[in-house]
Chains A and B, each alone.
Chain A
Amino acid sequence: MSNDNETMNLLAAQKVKESLKSSKRLDNRDFNDFREITIEKGVISSADGSAKVKLGDTEVIVGVKINVGEPYPDSPDEGSMMFNLELSAISGPDFYTGPPSLESVEYGRVADRAIRSSECIDMKKLSIISGEKMYMIFIDCYVTNADGNLIDAATIAGMAALLDAKIPKIDENNKIIYGEYTDQKLPIDMKKIPVSVSFENIDGQTLLDPTAGEEFAGDTRFSVAVCDKNIISFQKGKTGTLSLDQINEMCEIAISKYDQIKKKICDLK
Protein backbone atom coordinates (compact mmCIF):
# COMPACT_ATOMS: atom_id res chain seq x y z
CA MET A 1 0.00 0.00 0.00
CA SER A 2 1.27 3.43 -0.73
CA ASN A 3 1.78 5.76 2.18
CA ASP A 4 3.76 8.85 3.10
CA ASN A 5 6.30 6.95 5.09
CA GLU A 6 7.06 4.40 2.39
CA THR A 7 10.48 5.68 1.40
CA MET A 8 11.68 5.70 5.00
CA ASN A 9 10.41 2.14 5.44
CA LEU A 10 12.20 0.96 2.30
CA LEU A 11 15.44 2.47 3.58
CA ALA A 12 14.97 0.84 6.98
CA ALA A 13 14.37 -2.50 5.28
CA GLN A 14 17.48 -2.08 3.16
CA LYS A 15 19.62 -1.46 6.25
CA VAL A 16 18.24 -4.58 7.92
CA LYS A 17 18.98 -6.72 4.86
CA GLU A 18 22.45 -5.27 4.47
CA SER A 19 23.26 -6.13 8.07
CA LEU A 20 21.77 -9.63 7.75
CA LYS A 21 24.27 -10.41 5.00
CA SER A 22 26.87 -10.65 7.75
CA SER A 23 24.31 -12.45 9.98
CA LYS A 24 23.83 -9.46 12.25
CA ARG A 25 20.72 -7.73 13.49
CA LEU A 26 20.89 -3.96 13.69
CA ASP A 27 20.51 -4.06 17.48
CA ASN A 28 23.08 -6.88 17.74
CA ARG A 29 20.52 -9.25 19.17
CA ASP A 30 20.77 -13.00 18.73
CA PHE A 31 18.31 -14.24 16.05
CA ASN A 32 16.25 -16.00 18.71
CA ASP A 33 16.22 -13.35 21.44
CA PHE A 34 13.43 -11.11 22.62
CA ARG A 35 14.05 -7.39 23.16
CA GLU A 36 13.89 -6.13 26.72
CA ILE A 37 10.41 -6.50 28.17
CA THR A 38 9.01 -4.28 30.90
CA ILE A 39 5.57 -4.77 32.37
CA GLU A 40 3.80 -2.26 34.57
CA LYS A 41 0.47 -3.31 36.04
CA GLY A 42 -2.41 -1.15 37.25
CA VAL A 43 -1.67 1.87 35.07
CA ILE A 44 -5.29 2.79 34.27
CA SER A 45 -7.37 3.57 37.34
CA SER A 46 -10.69 3.48 35.47
CA ALA A 47 -10.12 -0.08 34.22
CA ASP A 48 -10.75 -3.21 36.31
CA GLY A 49 -7.28 -4.41 35.41
CA SER A 50 -4.56 -2.92 33.23
CA ALA A 51 -0.99 -3.18 32.08
CA LYS A 52 1.50 -1.23 30.06
CA VAL A 53 4.04 -3.33 28.22
CA LYS A 54 7.20 -2.26 26.49
CA LEU A 55 8.85 -4.67 24.10
CA GLY A 56 11.89 -2.74 22.97
CA ASP A 57 10.35 0.41 21.51
CA THR A 58 6.96 -1.19 21.00
CA GLU A 59 4.54 0.08 23.60
CA VAL A 60 1.00 -1.10 24.29
CA ILE A 61 -1.57 -0.34 26.96
CA VAL A 62 -4.21 -2.90 27.78
CA GLY A 63 -7.27 -2.43 29.95
CA VAL A 64 -9.69 -5.06 31.15
CA LYS A 65 -13.33 -4.27 31.80
CA ILE A 66 -15.70 -6.73 33.37
CA ASN A 67 -19.39 -6.49 32.65
CA VAL A 68 -22.49 -8.56 33.36
CA GLY A 69 -24.36 -10.01 30.42
CA GLU A 70 -26.43 -12.88 29.17
CA PRO A 71 -24.56 -16.10 28.38
CA TYR A 72 -24.43 -17.47 24.85
CA PRO A 73 -27.03 -20.16 24.16
CA ASP A 74 -24.35 -22.79 23.44
CA SER A 75 -22.55 -22.17 26.75
CA PRO A 76 -25.20 -21.27 29.37
CA ASP A 77 -22.85 -21.96 32.30
CA GLU A 78 -19.87 -19.96 31.11
CA GLY A 79 -18.62 -16.42 31.07
CA SER A 80 -17.14 -14.86 27.97
CA MET A 81 -13.99 -13.10 26.85
CA MET A 82 -13.22 -10.75 23.99
CA PHE A 83 -9.94 -9.23 22.84
CA ASN A 84 -9.84 -6.08 20.77
CA LEU A 85 -6.76 -4.34 19.38
CA GLU A 86 -6.71 -0.78 18.12
CA LEU A 87 -4.16 0.75 15.79
CA SER A 88 -4.51 4.47 15.24
CA ALA A 89 -2.45 7.49 14.24
CA ILE A 90 -1.04 7.40 17.79
CA SER A 91 0.64 4.07 17.00
CA GLY A 92 2.98 5.58 14.41
CA PRO A 93 3.28 7.20 10.98
CA ASP A 94 2.15 4.03 9.17
CA PHE A 95 -1.25 3.98 10.80
CA TYR A 96 -4.40 5.99 10.42
CA THR A 97 -7.31 6.66 12.69
CA GLY A 98 -10.56 5.35 11.26
CA PRO A 99 -12.42 2.10 10.86
CA PRO A 100 -10.39 -0.90 12.11
CA SER A 101 -7.74 -1.90 9.57
CA LEU A 102 -7.46 -5.51 8.46
CA GLU A 103 -4.11 -5.87 10.21
CA SER A 104 -5.49 -4.66 13.55
CA VAL A 105 -8.32 -7.20 13.21
CA GLU A 106 -5.77 -9.95 12.49
CA TYR A 107 -3.44 -9.00 15.37
CA GLY A 108 -6.37 -8.83 17.78
CA ARG A 109 -7.74 -12.16 16.72
CA VAL A 110 -4.37 -13.92 16.93
CA ALA A 111 -3.87 -12.58 20.49
CA ASP A 112 -7.47 -13.54 21.32
CA ARG A 113 -6.89 -17.11 20.09
CA ALA A 114 -3.69 -17.44 22.13
CA ILE A 115 -5.48 -16.48 25.36
CA ARG A 116 -8.66 -18.40 24.52
CA SER A 117 -7.12 -21.72 23.52
CA SER A 118 -4.83 -21.77 26.56
CA GLU A 119 -8.04 -22.12 28.61
CA CYS A 120 -6.26 -20.22 31.38
CA ILE A 121 -9.48 -18.46 32.44
CA ASP A 122 -11.97 -20.81 34.08
CA MET A 123 -15.06 -19.65 32.21
CA LYS A 124 -17.34 -21.86 34.33
CA LYS A 125 -16.47 -19.79 37.41
CA LEU A 126 -17.64 -16.65 35.61
CA SER A 127 -21.23 -17.83 35.49
CA ILE A 128 -23.55 -15.96 37.90
CA ILE A 129 -26.94 -17.56 37.17
CA SER A 130 -26.94 -20.43 34.71
CA GLY A 131 -28.48 -19.39 31.38
CA GLU A 132 -29.23 -15.88 32.64
CA LYS A 133 -26.24 -13.94 33.91
CA MET A 134 -22.47 -14.20 33.53
CA TYR A 135 -19.37 -12.04 33.65
CA MET A 136 -18.07 -10.81 30.31
CA ILE A 137 -14.41 -9.91 30.10
CA PHE A 138 -13.45 -7.23 27.60
CA ILE A 139 -9.75 -6.82 26.88
CA ASP A 140 -8.91 -3.68 24.94
CA CYS A 141 -5.41 -3.11 23.62
CA TYR A 142 -4.13 0.27 22.45
CA VAL A 143 -0.86 0.37 20.55
CA THR A 144 0.77 3.63 21.66
CA ASN A 145 4.08 3.12 19.88
CA ALA A 146 4.47 0.52 17.15
CA ASP A 147 7.93 -0.88 16.53
CA GLY A 148 7.17 -4.39 15.38
CA ASN A 149 5.86 -7.57 16.92
CA LEU A 150 2.55 -6.17 18.10
CA ILE A 151 1.04 -9.64 18.49
CA ASP A 152 3.47 -10.73 21.23
CA ALA A 153 3.30 -7.36 22.99
CA ALA A 154 -0.51 -7.47 22.94
CA THR A 155 -0.64 -11.03 24.26
CA ILE A 156 1.81 -10.32 27.10
CA ALA A 157 -0.05 -7.13 28.04
CA GLY A 158 -3.42 -8.87 27.78
CA MET A 159 -2.33 -11.59 30.21
CA ALA A 160 -0.72 -9.09 32.59
CA ALA A 161 -3.91 -7.00 32.66
CA LEU A 162 -6.05 -10.10 33.25
CA LEU A 163 -3.83 -11.07 36.20
CA ASP A 164 -4.16 -7.52 37.53
CA ALA A 165 -7.98 -7.44 37.25
CA LYS A 166 -10.37 -7.51 40.16
CA ILE A 167 -13.99 -8.56 39.85
CA PRO A 168 -16.36 -5.62 40.47
CA LYS A 169 -19.17 -5.78 43.01
CA ILE A 170 -22.69 -6.45 41.76
CA ASP A 171 -25.98 -5.49 43.39
CA GLU A 172 -28.99 -7.76 44.08
CA ASN A 173 -30.19 -7.27 40.48
CA ASN A 174 -26.82 -8.43 39.19
CA LYS A 175 -25.88 -4.96 37.98
CA ILE A 176 -22.30 -3.76 38.31
CA ILE A 177 -21.64 -1.24 41.06
CA TYR A 178 -19.06 0.90 39.32
CA GLY A 179 -15.92 1.72 41.27
CA GLU A 180 -16.50 -0.92 43.93
CA TYR A 181 -14.60 -4.18 43.87
CA THR A 182 -14.77 -7.56 45.53
CA ASP A 183 -11.44 -8.90 46.75
CA GLN A 184 -11.70 -11.62 44.12
CA LYS A 185 -9.32 -11.86 41.20
CA LEU A 186 -10.22 -13.51 37.91
CA PRO A 187 -10.09 -17.33 38.03
CA ILE A 188 -6.81 -17.77 36.14
CA ASP A 189 -4.85 -21.01 36.19
CA MET A 190 -1.19 -20.04 36.62
CA LYS A 191 -0.14 -23.33 35.02
CA LYS A 192 -1.86 -22.37 31.77
CA ILE A 193 -0.50 -18.88 31.08
CA PRO A 194 -0.12 -18.56 27.27
CA VAL A 195 2.98 -17.08 25.67
CA SER A 196 3.08 -15.87 22.09
CA VAL A 197 6.32 -15.97 20.11
CA SER A 198 6.52 -14.34 16.66
CA PHE A 199 9.10 -14.59 13.91
CA GLU A 200 9.81 -12.70 10.72
CA ASN A 201 11.25 -14.53 7.76
CA ILE A 202 13.69 -12.41 5.74
CA ASP A 203 15.21 -14.15 2.72
CA GLY A 204 15.18 -17.52 4.43
CA GLN A 205 16.42 -16.29 7.83
CA THR A 206 13.95 -16.28 10.70
CA LEU A 207 14.24 -13.58 13.35
CA LEU A 208 12.41 -13.79 16.66
CA ASP A 209 10.63 -10.66 17.96
CA PRO A 210 11.11 -8.53 14.82
CA THR A 211 11.34 -4.75 14.98
CA ALA A 212 9.31 -2.62 12.56
CA GLY A 213 12.35 -2.33 10.28
CA GLU A 214 12.76 -6.09 10.23
CA GLU A 215 9.05 -6.49 9.47
CA PHE A 216 9.41 -4.18 6.47
CA ALA A 217 12.36 -6.24 5.25
CA GLY A 218 10.54 -9.56 5.51
CA ASP A 219 7.54 -10.94 3.69
CA THR A 220 6.40 -13.66 6.09
CA ARG A 221 5.38 -13.59 9.73
CA PHE A 222 4.82 -16.63 11.89
CA SER A 223 3.31 -16.46 15.38
CA VAL A 224 3.17 -19.46 17.70
CA ALA A 225 1.39 -19.44 21.04
CA VAL A 226 2.64 -21.98 23.54
CA CYS A 227 1.60 -23.18 26.94
CA ASP A 228 4.34 -25.10 28.71
CA LYS A 229 5.30 -27.83 26.24
CA ASN A 230 2.12 -27.50 24.20
CA ILE A 231 1.30 -25.58 21.05
CA ILE A 232 -2.02 -23.81 21.50
CA SER A 233 -2.31 -21.77 18.32
CA PHE A 234 -0.34 -20.48 15.39
CA GLN A 235 -0.77 -18.18 12.46
CA LYS A 236 1.21 -17.48 9.34
CA GLY A 237 0.92 -13.85 8.33
CA LYS A 238 1.70 -11.76 5.25
CA THR A 239 2.20 -12.89 1.66
CA GLY A 240 5.36 -15.02 1.78
CA THR A 241 5.63 -18.78 2.18
CA LEU A 242 7.40 -21.12 4.61
CA SER A 243 8.61 -24.70 4.52
CA LEU A 244 7.40 -27.42 6.85
CA ASP A 245 10.87 -27.67 8.41
CA GLN A 246 10.91 -23.96 9.18
CA ILE A 247 7.52 -24.25 10.91
CA ASN A 248 8.62 -27.22 13.02
CA GLU A 249 11.80 -25.41 14.03
CA MET A 250 9.99 -22.22 15.02
CA CYS A 251 7.51 -24.22 17.12
CA GLU A 252 10.43 -25.72 19.04
CA ILE A 253 12.15 -22.38 19.57
CA ALA A 254 8.86 -20.95 20.84
CA ILE A 255 8.58 -23.71 23.44
CA SER A 256 12.12 -23.00 24.61
CA LYS A 257 11.16 -19.35 25.26
CA TYR A 258 8.13 -20.22 27.40
CA ASP A 259 9.61 -20.06 30.90
CA GLN A 260 11.42 -16.77 30.31
CA ILE A 261 8.31 -14.88 29.20
CA LYS A 262 5.93 -16.57 31.61
CA LYS A 263 8.10 -15.47 34.52
CA LYS A 264 7.87 -11.89 33.29
CA ILE A 265 4.09 -12.00 32.95
CA CYS A 266 3.58 -13.54 36.38
CA ASP A 267 6.14 -11.32 38.10
CA LEU A 268 8.22 -14.29 39.18
CA LYS A 269 11.91 -13.98 39.87
Chain B
Amino acid sequence: MSEEKRHDGRKPNDLRPIEIKLGVNKNADGSCLLTWGKNVVLATVHGPKQMFPKHLSNPSKAVIDYKYRMACISTPERKSPVPGKRDKEISLVSGNALESAIMVEQFPNTVIEINTLIFTADAGTRVAALTAASLAAADAGLPMKGLISSVAGGRSNKQLVLDLDKQEEDAPDAVDLACAMLMPQKEIALLQMDGFVDIKETKEILKNTVKGIETVYDMQKKALIEKYPLEGEINE
Protein backbone atom coordinates (compact mmCIF):
# COMPACT_ATOMS: atom_id res chain seq x y z
CA MET B 1 0.00 0.00 0.00
CA SER B 2 1.22 3.48 -0.79
CA GLU B 3 2.33 5.63 2.09
CA GLU B 4 0.94 8.77 0.52
CA LYS B 5 0.11 11.60 2.87
CA ARG B 6 -3.53 12.55 3.23
CA HIS B 7 -4.90 16.05 2.65
CA ASP B 8 -4.50 16.91 6.33
CA GLY B 9 -1.01 15.40 6.55
CA ARG B 10 -2.04 12.16 8.25
CA LYS B 11 -0.63 8.76 7.30
CA PRO B 12 -3.20 6.20 6.05
CA ASN B 13 -3.69 4.58 9.43
CA ASP B 14 -3.45 7.69 11.60
CA LEU B 15 -6.42 8.75 13.65
CA ARG B 16 -7.36 12.37 14.15
CA PRO B 17 -6.41 13.75 17.57
CA ILE B 18 -8.79 12.59 20.29
CA GLU B 19 -9.38 14.40 23.57
CA ILE B 20 -11.50 12.93 26.35
CA LYS B 21 -13.03 14.74 29.34
CA LEU B 22 -15.02 12.71 31.85
CA GLY B 23 -17.66 13.84 34.32
CA VAL B 24 -18.30 17.18 32.64
CA ASN B 25 -22.04 17.23 33.22
CA LYS B 26 -23.27 17.65 36.78
CA ASN B 27 -26.87 16.60 36.23
CA ALA B 28 -25.93 13.29 34.66
CA ASP B 29 -24.89 10.10 36.43
CA GLY B 30 -22.03 9.82 34.00
CA SER B 31 -20.81 11.98 31.14
CA CYS B 32 -18.07 12.48 28.61
CA LEU B 33 -17.09 15.32 26.32
CA LEU B 34 -15.11 13.99 23.42
CA THR B 35 -13.26 15.93 20.75
CA TRP B 36 -12.27 13.83 17.77
CA GLY B 37 -10.60 15.94 15.10
CA LYS B 38 -13.27 18.54 14.33
CA ASN B 39 -16.05 16.38 15.80
CA VAL B 40 -17.31 17.49 19.21
CA VAL B 41 -19.75 15.26 21.05
CA LEU B 42 -21.26 15.22 24.53
CA ALA B 43 -22.56 11.95 25.95
CA THR B 44 -24.55 11.62 29.16
CA VAL B 45 -25.93 8.65 31.05
CA HIS B 46 -28.98 8.75 33.34
CA GLY B 47 -30.09 5.68 35.19
CA PRO B 48 -30.84 2.89 35.66
CA LYS B 49 -34.19 4.40 36.59
CA GLN B 50 -37.81 3.44 36.43
CA MET B 51 -39.15 3.23 32.92
CA PHE B 52 -42.19 5.13 31.74
CA PRO B 53 -44.46 4.11 30.16
CA LYS B 54 -44.11 0.96 32.21
CA HIS B 55 -45.27 -1.46 29.52
CA LEU B 56 -42.12 -0.65 27.54
CA SER B 57 -39.90 -2.00 30.30
CA ASN B 58 -38.46 -5.49 30.23
CA PRO B 59 -38.79 -7.85 33.23
CA SER B 60 -35.51 -9.59 32.41
CA LYS B 61 -33.20 -6.65 31.73
CA ALA B 62 -32.72 -2.90 31.61
CA VAL B 63 -33.78 -1.21 28.39
CA ILE B 64 -31.03 0.84 26.77
CA ASP B 65 -32.48 4.04 25.37
CA TYR B 66 -29.70 5.41 23.19
CA LYS B 67 -30.17 8.67 21.32
CA TYR B 68 -27.84 9.79 18.58
CA ARG B 69 -28.55 13.41 17.92
CA MET B 70 -26.94 16.01 15.75
CA ALA B 71 -27.33 19.61 16.80
CA CYS B 72 -28.91 21.90 14.19
CA ILE B 73 -25.67 23.88 14.23
CA SER B 74 -23.40 20.89 13.61
CA THR B 75 -23.42 20.93 9.80
CA PRO B 76 -22.69 23.56 7.12
CA GLU B 77 -26.39 23.77 6.24
CA ARG B 78 -28.65 23.91 9.28
CA LYS B 79 -29.81 20.42 10.14
CA SER B 80 -33.48 19.98 10.87
CA PRO B 81 -34.08 19.23 14.56
CA VAL B 82 -36.50 16.44 13.63
CA PRO B 83 -34.71 13.07 13.94
CA GLY B 84 -34.59 11.45 10.50
CA LYS B 85 -34.34 7.79 9.51
CA ARG B 86 -30.55 8.00 9.66
CA ASP B 87 -30.56 9.27 13.24
CA LYS B 88 -33.04 6.58 14.28
CA GLU B 89 -31.03 3.78 12.70
CA ILE B 90 -27.76 4.96 14.24
CA SER B 91 -29.47 5.26 17.64
CA LEU B 92 -30.70 1.68 17.36
CA VAL B 93 -27.44 0.05 16.27
CA SER B 94 -25.36 2.08 18.75
CA GLY B 95 -27.72 1.19 21.60
CA ASN B 96 -27.47 -2.48 20.58
CA ALA B 97 -23.69 -2.25 20.67
CA LEU B 98 -23.68 -0.73 24.15
CA GLU B 99 -26.13 -3.35 25.37
CA SER B 100 -23.51 -6.01 24.63
CA ALA B 101 -21.17 -4.27 27.11
CA ILE B 102 -23.49 -3.15 29.92
CA MET B 103 -24.72 -5.86 32.30
CA VAL B 104 -28.36 -5.07 31.64
CA GLU B 105 -29.63 -8.27 33.34
CA GLN B 106 -28.76 -6.70 36.69
CA PHE B 107 -31.42 -4.00 36.37
CA PRO B 108 -34.72 -5.53 35.26
CA ASN B 109 -37.70 -3.24 34.60
CA THR B 110 -35.51 -0.13 34.37
CA VAL B 111 -34.26 2.12 31.62
CA ILE B 112 -30.73 3.42 31.09
CA GLU B 113 -30.89 6.63 29.10
CA ILE B 114 -27.83 7.37 27.04
CA ASN B 115 -27.93 10.64 25.16
CA THR B 116 -25.34 11.84 22.72
CA LEU B 117 -25.33 15.26 21.12
CA ILE B 118 -23.00 16.16 18.29
CA PHE B 119 -22.11 19.84 18.32
CA THR B 120 -19.74 19.79 15.37
CA ALA B 121 -19.76 17.11 12.69
CA ASP B 122 -16.90 16.17 10.38
CA ALA B 123 -17.60 12.52 9.45
CA GLY B 124 -17.24 9.61 11.84
CA THR B 125 -19.79 11.08 14.25
CA ARG B 126 -21.50 7.78 15.07
CA VAL B 127 -18.22 6.19 16.17
CA ALA B 128 -17.21 9.30 18.14
CA ALA B 129 -20.61 9.36 19.86
CA LEU B 130 -20.47 5.66 20.70
CA THR B 131 -16.92 5.91 22.05
CA ALA B 132 -18.02 8.83 24.24
CA ALA B 133 -21.20 7.04 25.34
CA SER B 134 -19.24 4.00 26.46
CA LEU B 135 -17.00 6.24 28.56
CA ALA B 136 -20.01 8.03 30.03
CA ALA B 137 -21.47 4.65 31.02
CA ALA B 138 -18.21 3.72 32.72
CA ASP B 139 -18.14 7.17 34.37
CA ALA B 140 -21.66 6.48 35.67
CA GLY B 141 -20.29 3.37 37.35
CA LEU B 142 -22.50 0.95 35.43
CA PRO B 143 -21.32 -2.67 35.65
CA MET B 144 -19.78 -3.47 32.28
CA LYS B 145 -18.18 -6.49 30.64
CA GLY B 146 -15.80 -4.17 28.84
CA LEU B 147 -15.65 -0.89 26.95
CA ILE B 148 -17.08 -0.21 23.52
CA SER B 149 -14.38 1.28 21.33
CA SER B 150 -15.20 2.46 17.87
CA VAL B 151 -13.53 3.71 14.68
CA ALA B 152 -14.46 4.12 11.04
CA GLY B 153 -12.22 2.88 8.27
CA GLY B 154 -12.54 2.79 4.53
CA ARG B 155 -11.23 3.95 1.22
CA SER B 156 -10.84 7.39 -0.25
CA ASN B 157 -9.25 8.24 -3.60
CA LYS B 158 -7.96 4.68 -4.11
CA GLN B 159 -6.20 4.69 -0.74
CA LEU B 160 -7.23 2.54 2.21
CA VAL B 161 -7.43 4.89 5.18
CA LEU B 162 -8.57 5.00 8.75
CA ASP B 163 -10.86 7.57 10.35
CA LEU B 164 -12.08 9.44 7.26
CA ASP B 165 -13.04 13.07 7.56
CA LYS B 166 -15.84 14.72 5.57
CA GLN B 167 -13.60 15.68 2.66
CA GLU B 168 -12.33 12.10 2.33
CA GLU B 169 -15.79 10.65 2.75
CA ASP B 170 -17.05 12.72 -0.18
CA ALA B 171 -14.59 11.09 -2.61
CA PRO B 172 -16.37 9.37 -5.52
CA ASP B 173 -14.91 5.95 -4.66
CA ALA B 174 -15.37 6.33 -0.90
CA VAL B 175 -16.01 3.29 1.25
CA ASP B 176 -17.19 3.95 4.79
CA LEU B 177 -17.04 1.18 7.36
CA ALA B 178 -18.06 1.91 10.94
CA CYS B 179 -17.00 -0.69 13.47
CA ALA B 180 -17.25 -0.94 17.24
CA MET B 181 -15.83 -3.67 19.40
CA LEU B 182 -16.36 -4.86 22.91
CA MET B 183 -12.88 -4.52 24.37
CA PRO B 184 -10.69 -6.18 25.52
CA GLN B 185 -12.73 -9.22 24.40
CA LYS B 186 -12.38 -8.07 20.77
CA GLU B 187 -15.93 -8.96 19.81
CA ILE B 188 -17.57 -6.94 17.04
CA ALA B 189 -20.58 -5.11 18.47
CA LEU B 190 -21.38 -2.73 15.63
CA LEU B 191 -20.56 -3.06 11.97
CA GLN B 192 -21.93 -1.06 9.07
CA MET B 193 -20.50 -0.45 5.65
CA ASP B 194 -21.40 0.92 2.29
CA GLY B 195 -19.29 1.32 -0.79
CA PHE B 196 -18.13 -0.97 -3.55
CA VAL B 197 -15.13 -3.15 -2.68
CA ASP B 198 -13.88 -6.63 -3.47
CA ILE B 199 -13.57 -9.12 -0.68
CA LYS B 200 -9.81 -8.77 -0.38
CA GLU B 201 -10.00 -5.04 0.23
CA THR B 202 -12.94 -5.54 2.60
CA LYS B 203 -10.82 -7.82 4.75
CA GLU B 204 -7.94 -5.37 4.63
CA ILE B 205 -10.17 -2.47 5.72
CA LEU B 206 -11.60 -4.60 8.54
CA LYS B 207 -8.11 -5.50 9.73
CA ASN B 208 -6.98 -1.85 9.74
CA THR B 209 -10.13 -0.79 11.54
CA VAL B 210 -9.57 -3.35 14.29
CA LYS B 211 -6.08 -1.92 14.81
CA GLY B 212 -7.55 1.57 15.08
CA ILE B 213 -10.05 0.33 17.64
CA GLU B 214 -7.22 -0.93 19.82
CA THR B 215 -5.68 2.55 19.75
CA VAL B 216 -8.99 4.13 20.77
CA TYR B 217 -9.39 1.55 23.55
CA ASP B 218 -5.99 2.47 24.97
CA MET B 219 -6.99 6.15 25.02
CA GLN B 220 -10.29 5.35 26.73
CA LYS B 221 -8.54 3.27 29.35
CA LYS B 222 -5.98 6.01 29.96
CA ALA B 223 -8.70 8.63 30.45
CA LEU B 224 -10.59 6.41 32.88
CA ILE B 225 -7.49 5.56 34.92
CA GLU B 226 -6.58 9.24 35.05
CA LYS B 227 -9.95 10.13 36.55
CA TYR B 228 -10.26 7.03 38.71
CA PRO B 229 -6.71 6.09 39.75
CA LEU B 230 -6.35 2.37 40.34
CA GLU B 231 -4.96 0.72 43.37
CA GLY B 232 -3.20 -2.52 42.61
CA GLU B 233 -3.08 -4.19 39.22
CA ILE B 234 -5.53 -4.37 36.36
CA ASN B 235 -6.84 -7.80 35.58
CA GLU B 236 -7.83 -8.24 31.97
Contacts and interface: CB of A to CB of B under 8 A. Distances in A.
Contacts of A102: 88-89, 91-92
Interface residues of A, number: 36
A94 to B, nearest CB: 15
A229 B196 CA distance: 10
A237 interface: yes
B5 interface: no
Interface in A240-269: 240-244, 247-248, 251-252, 255
Nearest to A74: B170
Given A105-B89, A113-B194, A231-B193, A240 B100 contact: yes
Contact of B199 (A106, A108, A118, A255): A255
B84 to A, nearest CB: 9
Contacts of B182: 241
A229 B199 contact: yes
Contacts of A233: 192-195
Contact of B194 (A105, A117, A243): A117
Contacts of A108: 85
Contacts of A105: 85, 88-89, 92
A235 B195 contact: no
B58 A2 contact: yes
A157 B32 CA distance: 44
A68 interface: no
A253 to B, nearest CB: 11
Contact of B188 (A2, A113, A236, A252): A236
Size range of the interface on B?
35 or more
B191 A231 contact: no
Given A230-B198, A231-B198, A241-B187, A2 B55 contact: yes
Interface string B11-40: 000000000000000000000000000000
A129 B137 CA distance: 52
Contacts of B193: 231, 233-235
A103 B193 CA distance: 18
A241 B190 CA distance: 8
A121 to B, nearest CB: 14
A108 B59 CA distance: 29
Contacts of A117: 194-196
A169 interface: no
B88 to A, nearest CB: 5
Contacts of B89: 102, 105-106, 109
Contact of A244 (B92, B192, B210): B210
B99 interface: yes
A15 interface: no
A173 to B, nearest CB: 29
A193 interface: no
B187 A242 contact: yes
A175 interface: no
A211 B26 CA distance: 47
A109 B55 contact: no
Nearest to B177: A234
Interface in B85-133: 85-86, 88-89, 91-93, 96-97, 99-100
B202 A236 contact: no
Interface string A122-155: 0000000000000000000000000000000000
A246 B41 CA distance: 32
A2 B59 contact: yes
Given A106-B89, A234-B192, A243 B187 contact: yes
B197 interface: yes
B138 interface: no
12 contacts: A102-B89, A109-B86, A117-B194, A229-B198, A232-B195, A235-B191, A236-B191, A239-B100, A243-B186, A244-B188, A251-B202, A252-B199
Given A113-B194, A233-B194, A239-B97, 13 more contacts: A102-B89, A116-B194, A117-B194, A117-B195, A229-B199, A231-B199, A232-B195, A233-B195, A235-B191, A244-B210, A247-B191, A248-B203, A248-B206
| 4 closest Cβ pairs, A-B complex | A241-B187, A236-B191, A233-B194, A239-B99
